[in-house]
Amino acid sequence: MPEGRWSTERWWAGLAALTLVVVAVPAQAAVTITFWSRDFGNSFPHAFFMLRGTPDAGGPPVDASYGFTARSLSPAILFGNVRGRVERPKPFYMAGSHVRFARVLTDAQYAAILSLVREWHEDTGDATYNLNRRNCVTFVREAARRAGLAMVDFPKLMKKPSSYLRAVVAAQPGQVTVIEQTGKAYLAALPPLTGTVPVDAPVSDPGTLPGKRKATAQP
C-alpha cells in the first residue's frame, strides 16, 4: 500500500475514533423547568413551577419550586390589590398537584427566571397581588415567556391554571415536553439530587382551605 494512502487512512481512522470519544461523553446537565397546576379541591386553584438540575456553566445544582399568591385569603382579594408573596410549596402540596409540561433552560433563561422570582419577592421587589391582573397564573406566564416560549398570552384563562398551561402546550407542542402526570408519581420517579434553593422564600401550602390540609392528586 502506498505511504500516502496509508497516512490518509490512518488520519481518517483517528478522526473517527476521536468522534466516538466525543459522542460517548454525556452532554452537560442543564436546569429544567416544569410547570404545575392545581384545581379546586382542598385548595384554591394555583399554578407554580419547579427548577431542577445543574446549570450548563457549572455550579451547585438547583432543586426549588416557586409560586406567587396572596399572603392571606380574605374577601379583600375580590376588590383590588392586596399583599402577595412568592412561596415554595410543601412536598405534600406538590404531590397533590399535577405536572403539565417541562422545558430545558439555557443558563441565560435560568438566570432570567431567578430574576423574575426576585422581582416578585416581597423582600426584593413588588409583591402586589391582584386576582385579575397579577396572580399565580400571571407569574407562571412570565416564567414561561422567560423560558423562551412565544405563545403564552391567553387572557381568558388567567384565573384557570390548568386550562392556561394546557393552552400553552397546545399552542407550541414542539417547544415543550408534555408530562401530564400527578405530582406524586412525578416526584417519586425523579433521580436523587442534592440541590440548593437559589432564592429563599417561605414554604407553604398556597390557598389551602381552612380545615382541609390533606392533599389529593388532581385530575
Distance between CA atoms of residues 154 and 139, nearest Å: 13
> What tens-digit pLDDT sequence spans the chain (219 residues)?
444 443 444 434 443 333 333 332 223 469 999 999 998 655 689 999 999 999 999 999 999 999 999 988 778 778 889 999 999 999 999 999 999 999 999 999 999 999 999 999 999 999 999 999 999 999 999 999 999 999 999 999 999 999 999 999 999 989 999 999 999 999 999 999 999 999 999 999 886 655 444 444 333
Distance between CA atoms of residues 108 and 113, nearest Å: 9
Distance between CA atoms of residues 64 and 92, nearest Å: 14
Strand duo 203-204 + 98-104: pairing: unpaired
pTM for this entry: 0.82
Distance between CA atoms of residues 69 and 71, nearest Å: 6
